[in-house]
A = this chain, B = another copy of it.
Amino acid sequence: MRNDGRESNQTRPVLITAHYIKHAEGSVLIEVGDTKVICTASVEERVPPFMKGQGKGWVTAEYSMLPRATQVRNQREAAKGKLGGRTMEIQRLIGRALRSVVNLQALGERSITLDCDVIQADGGTRTTSITGAFVAMAFAIDKLCKDKKLPKYPINDFLGSVSVGVVGDTACLDLNYEEDSRAKVDMNVVMTGTGKFVEVQGTGEDAPFSRRELDELLELAESGIQSMIRQQEAVLGPDISARIRSGSSAGNRE
């Protein structure tokens, strides 16, 4: 039994509030247990310099925590004058993951920036950000569709993410902060709605892990991610969900 009463293969309660920020083209507040992240999608009709003139779009992400999202206050990165390594690593991961299910050609020469701002942290902030940012992005793309800016629907597949880890001797799904700080092996997995891996990042800093443990964690992750994706479908509604599913079946990958 886990410290919050869950079974080892259970996620925490998930709540996704749509259209949380009025100015953004797409936005959600996603809550996974006590981890709360505001995800906004901002569309701009230009791409970064290295993408110019290719007729393709770009999807990128930024990640931050409010100073008091955590138990002890953290100094702001703006005050320090630079982004930390952890922040950069996470925002590179979020951007890469989201691009894996977007047909950049179909997006046209415009960019979508996903801002993931953690307002309260209790473990799994990067995986929660990915799950929430996918929904914010889907809303922003829906707005582009309604504005008749996209000749072809650019999302290929659903995308969700969870953390898994070995706590004590047990493989557990969706670690909270207390579990995460005790875990011997820690793994973040990103998968598509059709069950393919986009990112597998496992680390055994405190204890190397066997192939058998790896297999067990990957199975837990798969079930957790499919549960996250069912929540995404519920908040996006049947129309948007159907377009995403047909994207994946049509294989409209770039």
User: Whole-angstrom distance from the CB of A73 to the nearest CB of chain B?
Assistant: 4
A40 to B72 CA separation, bound complex (whole angstroms): 12
The listed residue with most B CB atoms (<10 A of its CB), out of A84, A202, A253, is A202
A85 touches B81 (CB 8 A): no
A70 to B203 CA separation, bound complex (whole angstroms): 29
A252 to B46 CA separation, bound complex (whole angstroms): 40
User: Whole-angstrom distance from the CB of A214 to the nearest CB of chain B?
Assistant: 6
Q: Which residues on the B side are within 8 Å of A85 (C-beta)?
A: 83, 85, 88-89, 91-92
B208 touches A198 (CB 8 A): yes
Q: How many residues of A contact B (CB 8 A)?
A: 67
B38 touches A100 (CB 8 A): no
- Interface of A: prevailing SS: mixed
Query: Which residue from chain B places its CB closest to the CB of A191 in the assembled complex?
Result: B208
Across the interface, A120 reaches (CB within 8 A) one of B23, B92, B192, B197, namely: B23
B197 touches A200 (CB 8 A): no
A residues apposed to B, CB below 8 Å: 21-24, 27, 34, 38, 40, 42, 44, 62, 64, 66-71, 73, 76-89, 91-92, 96, 99-100, 113, 115, 117, 119-120, 157, 187, 191-192, 194, 196-211, 214, 218, 253
5 A-B pairs (CB sep. < 8 Å) = A23-B70, A81-B82, A100-B205, A198-B204, A211-B218
